[in-house]
Chain A
């Protein structure tokens, strides 16, 4: 990777219209959290005082995180699929181009992921005020950071898949597969296989990594914290390496 390819990839990425759309939708997750919190407020205030103490609110950043995850995944796919022939004429050695794209997507993912997680956690707390006894923000910092990093992972997963398969439709469908279809199937499989499936789902990994309580969730607990970190990293590293491998062997 030279400063040239890095700069070129950065300019390409930032001048795509889809990049900005994806960023806007990603950060829209903060507004979504605010809207959901307002709705929850309405219900809380309408409930009789005796039932208010028992009222609980799901952590809204866990609900909306799927939006930046999916968005970065799509951005990664688009960055890989959209401009391949011209780039490889200009930069005949291929891995620097992919390295530049990886750096760009990782940087965007890092910023968007952290912004979306901390933004929605903060906004939720501002909107609900002292209702619902939410966990203090300070206690959730490790989980918010790691959940935000899962957005980077999705971006790189999209980039790797895009490089490997070169088809937007297949890659976006696969992203939906990883984020939704695989979990749905895992929930329905009984026995050890289902337990393992529920343990390696992206949604549960951040909680496993920071050692959060998983007793009331759908996720499995087969992995240790370091094992979960390794699996989360593998979701990003394996597809990107597979992309490098494919690029070295292929015509275009």
Chain B
């Protein structure tokens, strides 16, 4: 586990991904200042808070960390050495998952909380009240996405494939479902990853019960990881 942590910490791509996520704080402040200037000038009914607007950037950056934790080693071929040194594969996968999960949660929670607080410090325009629990739930969803990325990375052994898979979960499928005719778009939409956290916090919107939504969210991490475990324990490398 310590080895996995050092690997993740010392990879340049992890730094870029964390940097991208952290950039959200800067962008968020710029966003808030800009929206504020409009609000002072001619008033606005409401506008999204910065952390809400830039949420997809954080999600994507954190998901890439998960993918690269798996495919980075396949791309360099170093996975062979790793497996020679750590032949117990379930253990290795579990440790990777733990390190990825902790990192993803810490990064996304820190970025979201910092951006949300900075936005409220800097901005005067009316935005939703700072809801720490909801922000932590968004960080949990980002963590789930990161673990899904890890699972897909192990299964496909391809960075392009796994990142595309995560992008499909996060954007492509919801985008297409959104455009379906009305009863279907909401019916299917309720089960899609980006809509789960909002359902957990706005139960008045028809859809899943909050607990069911969170449970389903966790399944989005569990299924790819289980698939990864199934192939990783049977495959050569």
Binding site for B on A (CB under 8 A): 18, 32, 36, 39-40, 43, 57-58, 63-64, 66-67, 70, 74, 77-78, 167-170, 172-173, 176-177, 179-181, 184-185, 188-191, 193
New contact pairs (17) apart from A40-B181, A74-B160, A173-B167, CB-CB < 8 Å: A18-B158, A18-B160, A63-B179, A64-B176, A70-B172, A78-B160, A169-B71, A169-B163, A173-B64, A176-B163, A180-B171, A180-B172, A181-B60, A188-B48, A189-B53, A190-B38, A190-B44
Which residues of chain B (143-163) have a CB below 8 Å from chain A?
158-160, 163
Task: Give the chain B neighbours of A43 by CB distance below 8 A.
Answer: 181, 183-184
- The minimal Cβ–Cβ distance linking A180 to chain B, given in whole angstroms, is 4
Task: Give the chain A neighbours of B71 by CB distance below 8 A.
Answer: 169
- Output the residue of A43, A70, A184 with the most chain B CB within 10 A: A184
| Inter-chain residue pair count (beta carbon < 8 A) | 91
- The minimal Cβ–Cβ distance linking B45 to chain A, given in whole angstroms, is 9
- The minimal Cβ–Cβ distance linking B200 to chain A, given in whole angstroms, is 20
A179 to B44 Cα, complex, angstroms? 28
A177 to B160 Cα, complex, angstroms? 15
The DSSP consensus for interface residues of chain B is helix
A66 to B38 Cα, complex, angstroms? 33
Task: Name the one of B34, B54, B163 contacting A173, with C-beta atoms under 8 angstroms.
Answer: B163
Offer 8 A-B interface pairs, CB within 8 angstroms, sorted by A. A39-B184, A66-B175, A67-B172, A172-B163, A173-B64, A176-B170, A185-B54, A191-B38
Task: Give the chain B neighbours of A191 by CB distance below 8 A.
Answer: 34-35, 38
Task: Give the chain A neighbours of B52 by CB distance below 8 A.
Answer: 188
